[in-house]
Amino acid sequence: MTASIDIKNVTKRFGSLTVLDELSLSIPANEFVVFLGPSGCGKSTLLRMIAGLESVDSGEILINGERIDNQPPGQRGVAMVFQSYALYPHMTVGDNMAFGLKNISVERSVIDARIAEAARMLEIGHLLDRKPGQLSGGQRQRVAIGRAVVKEPKAFLFDEPLSNLDAALRTRTRIELAQLHQRLKSTMIFVTHDQIEAMTLADRIVVMNNRKIEQIGAPMEIYNRPATRFVAGFVGAPAMNFLPVKIRVEDGLVTAATDAGLCIKTAIPSEGLAAGDYELGLRSEHVRITPPTGDAAEGVVDVLERLGERTLVYVRLNDGQQIVGSDSGDSRVSVGDRVGLAFEGAKAHLFDATGKAWHGRESGHG
């Protein structure tokens, strides 16, 4: 089973604190959507409103076109996997999975068949008689997913389900979740503050911040064409470099200049851009390390992060601004060296004072 989910002008307040403000979002059936945003931005609240665990102050939530925000959680036909797993501690794994089906009087033979199928898929068949207390974190996680799967819900809701796992298990479970989605062909909403989870799992990412949606888009679209300065800074590791600049126009394209005299030619069309203060954004992979140049694009290496396939170089420019550039994995630079920086201006983004982003024609195509 699968379903589309529509969220229309939804507002949520806790006392005087407005957590979500007139938020709208459409999720087509079968899509894997990730809500991404910093802690406290209201991702869980939105998910819990879809599940029915949190009331809606105004607006509507529809599943398959049917309004459900006035229905009790159980009747909405969604299943949720909690960050804490929320397994019933005194029931065996099998009973945990059967509970939701027993409550709606599903036949025992059907329940057993579904549990067997889910247990086979998640490789938890040997755990069915154990209690949650006797399981490891990763096993509990699988049981929690299994409990959702057997309900054959219209949509799966995941609230940071991987954050209690260790790094290796997190990566593995991430891949398995992607496979699960392909196999079940079901709508899935996944909440996380981890952009790598978002990038790897999502068909579409919904970036949330400060009571509203900043951007909705496919992972690479979010990465290459961030709609706002917030998205640009939040998505991508290390964070994008931002330089305060003044702009001027050359051949219809923007050239940005810092106060220190650094000049970067971009591929951003100048139409619609007023004169004024801007910030230039460039990802570290578009700033290469070169031998010292003797001009403004030169600085001293502060910190080195060797990631194996490449090296991140934190360079302090003469005016004190720090820029993260990248060099090859076997880079010979060391801390304290003077190095030059080569900016790939064609990949640069420009952000105006309101945070809105302007992109070059090229960005998004490599």
Partner 1 sequence: MADPVNGNARRAESVDIYAPQWRNFLFVAPYLFIFAAFLVFPLFWGIWLSFHKADTFSSGPFIGFGNYARLFRDGIFLQSIWNTFYFVFLTVPALALIGLFLALCLNRQTRSAAVLRTLFFSSSVLSVTIVTLIWRIVYIPDMGLLSMIYGFFGAKAPAFLSDPDIAMIGIAIATIWWCIGLPMMLFLSALQQIPQDIYEAAALDNANRWQTLRSITLPSIKRTFVLVVIIQIVFQFQLFGQAWLMTKGGPNNLTKPIVLYIYNTAFQRWDIGLGAAASEILFLLILVAAMAQFLLTRRKADA
Ligand X SMILES: Nc1ncnc2c1ncn2[C@@H]1O[C@H](COP(=O)(O)OP(=O)(O)O)[C@@H](O)[C@H]1O
Nearer to ligand X, 17 or 274 (CB): 17
| CA distances, 149 to each of 180, 316, 322 (Å) | 10, 51, 48
Residues ≥6 apart with Cβ < 8 Å to 218: 202, 203, 204, 205
The β-bridge partners of 313 are 304, 325
| Angle, helices 167-184/137-149, rounded to nearest 10 degrees | 10
> What is the spatial distance between Cα 187 and Cα 181, in angstroms, rounded to a whole number?
8
User: Which of 43-51, 58-66, 177-185, 306-314 is the region at the interface with ligand X (rule: CB under 6 A)?
Assistant: 43-51
Burial bucket for residue 76 (CB in 10 Å: 0-12, 13-18, 19+):
buried
Q: Which of residues 42-71 bind Mg ion (CB under 5 A)?
A: 44
When asked if residue 89 is in the footprint of partner 1 (CB under 8 A), the reply is yes
Among candidates 305, 311, 317, which has minimal Cα distance to 331? 311
User: Which of 37-45, 131-139, 226-234, 314-322 is the region at the interface with ligand X (rule: CB under 6 A)?
Assistant: 37-45
When asked if residue 44 is in the footprint of ligand X (CB under 6 A), the reply is yes
Nearer to partner 1, 151 or 359 (CB): 151
Nearer to partner 1, 134 or 182 (CB): 134
Among candidates 344, 337, 258, 348, which has minimal Cα distance to 291? 337
Asked whether the beta carbons of 92 and 46 are under 8 A apart, the reply is: no
Site string for Mg ion, 25-44 (x = CB under 5 A): -------------------x
CB of 54 to ligand X, least distance (A): 8
Q: Which of 27, 43, 192, 226 contacts ligand X by CB under 6 A?
A: 43
Q: Which of 41, 51, 111, 324 contacts ligand X by CB under 6 A?
A: 41
When asked if residue 366 is in the footprint of partner 1 (CB under 8 A), the reply is no
Q: Which of residues 151-170 bind partner 1 (CB under 8 A)?
A: 151
When asked if residue 56 is in the footprint of partner 1 (CB under 8 A), the reply is no
Nearer to partner 1, 73 or 269 (CB): 73
Please, where are the H alpha helices in the chain? 43-51, 93-103, 108-122, 137-149, 167-184, 195-201, 219-224, 229-234
Residue 296 binds what, of ligand X, Mg ion, partner 1, none (CB under 5 to 8 Å, by partner type)? Answer: none
When asked if residue 14 is in the footprint of partner 1 (CB under 8 A), the reply is no
Nearer to partner 1, 77 or 340 (CB): 77
> What is the spatial distance between Cα 42 and Cα 47, in angstroms, rounded to a whole number?
9
Residue 305 binds what, of Mg ion, ligand X, partner 1, none (CB under 5 to 8 Å, by partner type)? Answer: none
Nearer to Mg ion, 44 or 284 (CB): 44
CB of 125 to ligand X, least distance (A): 33
Q: Which of residues 35-54 bind partner 1 (CB under 8 A)?
A: 51-53
| CA distances, 139 to each of 142, 149, 240 (Å) | 5, 15, 37
Q: Which of 40, 74, 137, 261 contacts ligand X by CB under 6 A?
A: 40
Tokens describing residue 28: 């087509």
When asked if residue 39 is in the footprint of ligand X (CB under 6 A), the reply is yes
Nearer to ligand X, 19 or 165 (CB): 19
When asked if residue 192 is in the footprint of Mg ion (CB under 5 A), the reply is no
Asked whether the beta carbons of 148 and 177 are under 8 A apart, the reply is: no
When asked if residue 42 is in the footprint of ligand X (CB under 6 A), the reply is yes
Cis peptide before 38 (omega within 30 of 0): no
| CA distances, 155 to each of 34, 131, 193, 200 (Å) | 13, 27, 21, 20
Chain positions contacting partner 1, by CB under 8 A: 51-53, 72-75, 78-80, 82, 84, 86-91, 99-100, 103-104, 147, 151
**Interaction site with ligand X (CB under 6 A):** 14, 19, 37, 39-45
